[in-house]
Each structure stands twice: as structure tokens, then as C-alpha cells.
Chains A and B, each alone.
Chain A
Amino acid sequence: MSERVRGYALFATVALLLLVVAPLALPAFRLDELAKYLCLAIAALGIGLAWGQGGMLTLGQGVFFGLGGYAMGMYLKLHDAGGDLPDFMVWSGVERLPALWQPFGNPVVALAAVVLVPVAVAVLLGALVFRRRVRGAYFAILSQALAAAFVILLVGQQGLTGGTNGLTNFYDFFGRDPEAESTQRTMYFVVAGVLGVLYLLARQLVGSRFGRLLVAVRDGEDRVRFLGYDPALVKTVTFAISAGMAGLAGALFVPVVGIISPSLLGVVPSLELVVAVAVGGRYALAGAILGAVVMNYAKTSFSEEWAGGWLYLQGALFILVMTLAPKGAVGLYQQARDALARRRGASAAAVEKPGVAVKEEVPA
């Protein structure tokens, strides 16, 4: 089987598992949880694109996730309130609907904002930062600081954002009860479908000329510049795409889980997503998805058993992965496969895949 056919077969198998087997086999509660992991996997896919392919370690994806989530949440809140003020604003003594909220009464505007607002923020930040050739660790730190500032802002502006509690208690999701089992089931299929489509699109992008350029920027930004390309543009576009994915993920997260709050978006949740991508395998888009689902599943099941243990385990796992298998689970799988192939006597040249550059980042 050629690499291509094998890839499609794998995709079809996973799609079958997610769309047919899981809904039949899992109880509603677990299916809902899986939908949540798949939401996070959409955001992780964006990180895989920006970090794995583009070398931009973005530690602030929670910001974009949050922008998308809050856009959705604001619409739902306004819809529930039906012309009045949302409940939490009444509690914090706000008397008139703030101007920031007014456009979000319209579902079309809100849904557009889910993607466009994160993209706009990412373009602005990217244009400012990448143009000035701020990169590597500097960029990582800045994106982390953005996440920290964003959360502090959300918590501080109680009347505008619901503060620490965030936005919750939604009663009507486009004419359906968001808590109802049927809605949850539909949402699961929507999330899985969106993830599948985005994955295929991202693969297409990585395989395109643009994708090649992106990997080239990751491995030797200055050389790309000397060849006449504009690395800042490539990076900004990619960063914006990944932000848009995170925004979409956040918006889907809201009806699935029923809440969006600062504690889901800060420095730690953003880092956890990156960790998941690293564990899954940063250089493969599928690794990002795999990592997000597996790590979040492990987190949920461990936290149910022994809350403190998860932190030890996560920390230890992370240290081990970074030291022993920096390419993550996918990297291990590839290594094992190549070793097997070599043992079978296949020539090393056939195993070595050209074009799949897995070079380490050039140190700053």
C-alpha cells in the first residue's frame, strides 16, 4: 500500500470509529465528554499547524479559544434574555447593555465573529511581532503574556464578561434545549464533522506550496527571506488560521459543555493544549488531534480517581516525552515502523520519506 492510500484508509477508519461506533457504543454522558475532547482537538490542530509546521510556539491559544467561545456565549445570553439584560449583568448592577454586546444579538454577526475576531487579533499581533522579526522564545513568552493579560481582563470586567464565573446557564441553542440528549448528540456529530473537515483542509494546506514554504520558514527563516519570500506574511497567515481554528473550537465548546469561563483559557489551559500536541506528535497534524483527545481523556479519568496524581503524571509524562521522544507518539510509531521495515530487509532509501522534514528548530 502506498503512503497515500494508507493515509486515506486510516482517516476512513477513524471517521468510522468517531461517527458510527462511538455514538452507538458510548453512553450519552461519555459521548458528551468525547465531544468536548474533540473541541479541544480542533484547537490543538491549529497549534499543530502553527507550532509543528510553522515553528511558532503559541502559548496563548486560550485567548482565541476564549474569543470564539465568548462570541458564541454572548449571543446565547442575549437570545435567552430576549431583549432584557443578561442575568449576570443584572446581578452586577449594569443598567444598559454595553455597546460591545450590542452586535452579538444578531446570530449571523455572532457566528462570523467566532472566527473573525480571533483572526483579527492574531493578524494584528502577528503583523506587529513577526514583521519586527520577534520570534522563537520571545514570541512564546509574548503569547503567554497575552493569555495572562486576557484572563485578568476577563475576571476584572465583571459586568461585561461575567467575571470568574464566565458565561453559563444557556437555555436555548438555536431553538433547542442545549442540555437535551438529542441536542448533545447532534452537537457531537457537528463537532466531529468540523474537526474532520478542518483536518482535511489543514492537510491540504500543509501539502501545498504554502505548506512547503511554512516548513522552510520554520527550519531557516533567514534563508527563506534571502530567497525573496516574506516569512512574516507566511507566519502571520498561519498564525491567523490557527487562531481561527481555536475560535471555532471555543464556539463549539460552549453548547457542548455549557460554559465558557476564564479558568478554561488562561496560561495553564493554553499550555496544556501545547503539551497535548507535543505528546501526540507535533510534526504530524494527526498527532495533535490524537494528543488532545488522549491527554484530556487521561486528565478526566485520572482526576476522577486521584486529583493530585494527574499533575504528577502529567509532569512526569511530559518530562519523559520531551527527553526521550520529542516527536511524540507519532514519532515513536514512525520509528517503530521504520525499524520493522528495515528488519524486513527493505532498503533504507525506500523507508526514508523525502519531503517530511523533521529537523529541529535552528537555535536562536
Chain B
Amino acid sequence: MESLLNQLPIGLSIGAVLLLIALGLTFTFGQMGVINMAHGEFIMAGAYTAYMLQDWAGAQAAAVALPVAFALAGTMGWVLERTAIRHFYGRPLDTLLLTWGVSLVLQQAARDLFGAPNVQVVAPSWLNGGVTIGGGTLPYNRLFIMALAIACVAGIWAYQNRSAQGRRMRAVMQNRELAACSGVATARVDQLTFFIGSGLAGVAGVALTLIGPVGPSIGTYYIVDAFLVVVAGGLGQLRGAVIAALALGMLNSFAEFWTNASLAKVIVFAAIIVFLQFRPQGMFVLRSRALT
């Protein structure tokens, strides 16, 4: 029973990582219908930002890197949106293939710039150690990631619901044409959304450096699971993403506990298929009268 309880914090922290990654996706996918396979490479960019800043900021690199990574990944996303993706609206499946091409190029660029082997980012010393809860230890770095996820969710929530720009964003998400008719500059909203969504990937990348090594293909490990979070949570739904990420993290860690790592993935996949039988559009659905 005790070891079963140990799975709880592990599941929570897997969920927090997934949530950080899926937050950005749920915007770009939910609002713009863009399936951004290069999201994983924005994560990588964030992670390498922390690595590069080590020379300058030393052990505090991870903390310093958060805003830098947000800006860098966000800018990369913005450039991608401006140069390519904006020609693809209404063709979601094509954006998937397009951004996959981008992701290939970025991965190879990272391999050429930083080398193929993994690199290590030293976590700040104040993240060493952990708190002991009921027999299990919860490391500070995992706690930090959870706190970061909570902060990001709160920030996004406030942005969406309390700012004029966020209101426009929700308007575009709910009905693009009507928003445009009402004078919302949808193209500008799209740019900003893509910037924020990609920036969040950068933040997630910094968080990942705290729990593992950084490599050119770091993004590919997480991207599929993150997309599943979006699918299960519902497009563009903040609460859906939160619940789905935590549920998937939990399911993952408990399935791994009861069976093994390789079967756990299959169980998670089967669970999502079963879940979609009941809620084919994900947990929360944006009600609309539009057909298809």
C-alpha cells in the first residue's frame, strides 16, 4: 500500500510535465487548428537555452532561463507562424506534415550545433533534496515543476479571462468569422497565440532539464503524449488540459507500477480509445452549431 502511495507524487509530476507541454499545444491546436509537430523542438530550444546559460549564470541557469526560453521559443513559433503556418489555416492535416518537416530541420540543426550526445544541466542547489510525505519522498525539483505548471495555468487563465487580448483570443477560438466581423484582428490574435503557445513549450523545456538530460530529440519523447492530453481534454480547453494531463500522468505511473513500462503505454492508449467512446470530442467541448 505504501509503495502504491509512492506512485501518487510520481504520477502528479509526470502529469505536471505533460501539462506544461500540452498547455501550448492546446492553444495552437484548439484555436488555430494547427497541429504543431515542431512543438517538441521548441521544448528542445528551451532546454538548450538553460544549457547555454549555464556558462553565464552557473547553477542558477534553470531559473534564469525561464523567461529567456519563453521569449526564444515564442519567437521561433512566431516566425514559423508568419512564414509558413498562416498559409495553411483550414488545412490542419497539412500543417502536421509541414511542421514535421520543420521539426526535422530543427533537430538536425541542434545535432550540428550542440552535438548528438545528451548534455546535462546542473539543477540549482536549492532544488536538491525533497520533502518526505507518508513514507515517500517528493523531490524539490518535481515540486518546482508542479509549482511552475500551476503558475502557468493560473497565468493563462488570468490572461484568457481577465485581459482584453485574452478575450479576443477566446472570441477567435469560438467563432473565427464572427470575431473577424466584429472587428477582432484575427491575424494578430493568431500571431500572439502562437507566440504564447510556443513560449510555453520553451518553459516546459527548461523544466525538463531539471529531471533529465537534454538531447536533440528530447521533444519527440513527449510530443505524442502531449497530443493525447489535448485530444482527451478537448480542443482549447484549459480545464480539460489540466484534468487530462493529471489523469494521464496518474494512469501512466499506476499502470507502470502494476505492469511494466512497455505495457503501461498500451494501457494508456487503450484507455483513451475507450474514453473517446463516451466523449468523442474530449472531456470538455466548445459548443457550436457548426457542422463538422
Contact = CB atoms under 8 A, between A and B. Distances in A.
A201 interface: no
A157 B35 contact: no
Contact of B262 (A155, A308, A315): A155
B90 A275 contact: no
Interface string A305-323: 0001001101111110011
A125 B102 contact: no
A54 to B, nearest CB: 12
A41 interface: no
A141 B35 contact: yes
Contact of B104 (A145, A274, A311): A311
A148 B273 CA distance: 15
A145 B100 contact: no
B148 interface: no
A323 B87 contact: yes
Contacts of A132: 276-277, 280
Interface in A100-130: 125, 128-129
A294 interface: no
Q: Is the interface of A mostly helix, strand, loop or mixed?
A: helix
Contact of A222 (B100, B265, B291): B291
B154 interface: no
Given A129-B276, A153-B266, A364 B105 contact: no
A146 interface: yes
A69 B88 CA distance: 36
Contact of A319 (B84, B262, B266, B292): B84
Q: Is the interface of B mostly helix, strand, loop or mixed?
A: helix
Contacts of B89: 363
A142 interface: yes
Contacts, number: 135
Interface stretch (B135-143, B163-171, B181-189, B220-228): B220-228
Contacts of B230: 141
Interface residues of A, number: 49
A141 B220 CA distance: 14
A51 B102 CA distance: 21
Interface residues of B, number: 47
Given A137-B92, A152-B261, A275-B97, A364 B272 contact: no
Contacts of B118: none
A274 B93 CA distance: 11
Interface in A296-336: 308, 311-312, 314-319, 322-323, 326
B108 A137 contact: no
B94 A322 contact: yes
Contact of B263 (A128, A153, A267, A268): A153
B280 A144 contact: no
A43 B204 CA distance: 36
Interface string A157-188: 10000000000000000000000000000000
A137 B93 contact: yes
A1 interface: no
B257 interface: no
A126 to B, nearest CB: 11
Interface in A57-96: 57, 59
Contacts of A3: none
Given A157-B262, A322-B101, A141 B93 contact: no
A319 B227 contact: no
Interface string A346-364: 0000000000000011111
A156 B228 contact: no
Given A275-B97, A363-B33, A364-B92, A311 B105 contact: yes
A146 B291 contact: no
A271 B273 contact: no
Nearest to B104: A315
B233 to A, nearest CB: 12
Contact of B97 (A278, A363, A364): A278
Interface of A: 57, 59, 125, 128-129, 132-134, 136-138, 140-142, 144-146, 148-149, 152-153, 155-157, 221-222, 267-268, 271, 274-275, 278, 308, 311-312, 314-319, 322-323, 326, 360-364
20 contacts: A57-B93, A128-B277, A132-B280, A133-B280, A140-B93, A141-B224, A142-B231, A152-B265, A153-B265, A267-B220, A267-B224, A271-B97, A274-B97, A275-B97, A311-B108, A312-B108, A318-B101, A319-B84, A322-B94, A323-B88
Given A134-B280, A308-B112, 5 more contacts: A140-B96, A149-B266, A267-B224, A311-B104, A323-B98
